[in-house]
Amino acid sequence: MEFFRLKKDIPFMTYARSTAILSAVTFALAIFFLITRGLNFSVEFTGGTVIELHYPAAVGPAAVQSTLVTAGFGDSEVQNFGTASDILVRLPLQPGVSSAQMSESVLKTLRAKQPDIEMRRVEFIGPQVGRELVTDGAIALALVCAGIMLYLAFRFEWRFAVAAIIANMHDVVIILGFFAFFRWEFSLTVLAAVLSVLGYSVNESVVVFDRIRENFRKFRKAGVADIINNAITATMSRTIITHGCTQLVVTSMLFFGGATLHNFALALTIGILFGIYSSVLVSSPIVLWLGATRAHFIKPEGTSPQGG
């Protein structure tokens, strides 16, 4: 069985202008939503208390909320979590009240009405911890970018490093844009997903670059655009199948992983889809525009690493 038996190279580079515009628009939209709507940060980043409760039967968040409001937790936020009988209560940080007292009194209040509530999870994050997680996350992001760029610059050429990182930042910003637009909760696990998308989708660019280098050696007379077109066409089958396989697992997480892994899998799904697109139609045109030529690849024998 084979999905892709392409006789001719697809002239991807001639579409470059239109895809660039498309990318620019999506990117701009993502930034717009990030600024106007902002990310819906989880308690891990903002600080506060989260309580997950399991009711014996389906329960409406409004009823739970009104119980809490009458008991003095006016700024609580209540929603169903995963199933109709699971409830998630969010409480903002309150100066002077310890986490211990807060979660206990919430539980007591709700149990007074319905004694057989099961406590599933309590999370309390103090303000300083939240701030640290934000900085640590930002540092990790910067470090991953720098590390990947350095590696690519060392392994290929700076033009490739720049192209790959632009393509990947494009993916990351778009994932964040989705999270901002839909107000999906951005938690630590989602951050982990975003960062692993960064490492994962850069692969895609690496595979195409590898092929471009090989083609430069093989086809001495072809133009740069043709060489890139051929490289993309030749690796397309692998691109689709690999990402398809990863997506199979991610879809499995989306269905079976429960509420905790749901947003993680969502971030990966968006990352994988845009990863395919950006590695083919964002990073390669950038390489072209940055003026990569044969001379950048065919270094004197012995110094260039053997491409695969």
C-alpha span between 280 and 276 (Å, rounded): 6
> Min. distance of Cβ 32 from another protein in angstroms?
27
284 binds another protein (CB under 8 A): no
Q: Tokens at residue 193, please?
A: 């997903």
Least distance in angstroms from the C-beta of 40 to another protein: 18
Kindly report the three-state secondary structure assignment for every residue of 129-151.
Answer: HHHHHHHHHHHHHHHHHHHHHHH
Closest CB 28 distance from another protein, rounded Å: 26
User: Binding to another protein by residue 92, rule CB under 8 A?
Assistant: no
Rg (C-alpha) for the chain, rounded Å, is 25
Q: Given the structure tokens 């819906």, which residue do they identify?
A: 40
CA 262 vs. chain centroid, Å, equals 13
Query: How far, in Å, CA of 64 to CA of 251, rounded?
Result: 32
Count of residues that interact with another protein, criterion CB under 8 A: 75
Min dist. Cβ of residue 93 to another protein (A): 11
Other C-beta atoms within 10 Å of 12: how many? 20
CA distance 40 to 78: 15
Nearer to another protein, 31 or 188 (CB): 188
Taking CA 251 as the corner, what is the angle to CA 283 and CA 246, rounded to the nearest 5 degrees? Answer: 45
Interacting residue with another protein among 255, 298, 299, 304 (CB under 8 A): 255
- Closer Cβ to another protein, 75 or 118, answer by number: 118
Binders in 224-243 for another protein, by CB under 8 A: 234-235, 237-238, 241-242
Q: Which of 261, 273, 290, 294 binds another protein (CB under 8 A)?
A: 261
Residues 42 to 81 in contact with another protein, rule: CB under 8 A:
52, 54
H helix or E strand, kind and range, residue 106: helix 99-113
What tokens appear for 43 in the block?
């308690």
- Binding residue for another protein (CB under 8 A) from 72, 115, 300, 306? 306
State in angstroms the smallest separation of the CB of 114 from another protein.
Answer: 16
Segment 263-282, which members bind another protein (CB under 8 A)?
264, 268
Among the listed residues 95, 60, 17, the one whose alpha carbon sits nearest the alpha carbon of residue 282: 17
Q: How far is the CB of 125 from another protein (least distance, A)?
A: 5
Pick out residues in 127-166 that bind another protein (CB under 8 A).
128-129, 132-133, 136-137, 139-140, 143-144, 147-148, 151-152, 155
Stretch that binds another protein, among 56-64, 174-182, 188-196, 295-303 (CB under 8 A): 188-196
At 184, phi and psi to the nearest 5? Answer: -65, 150
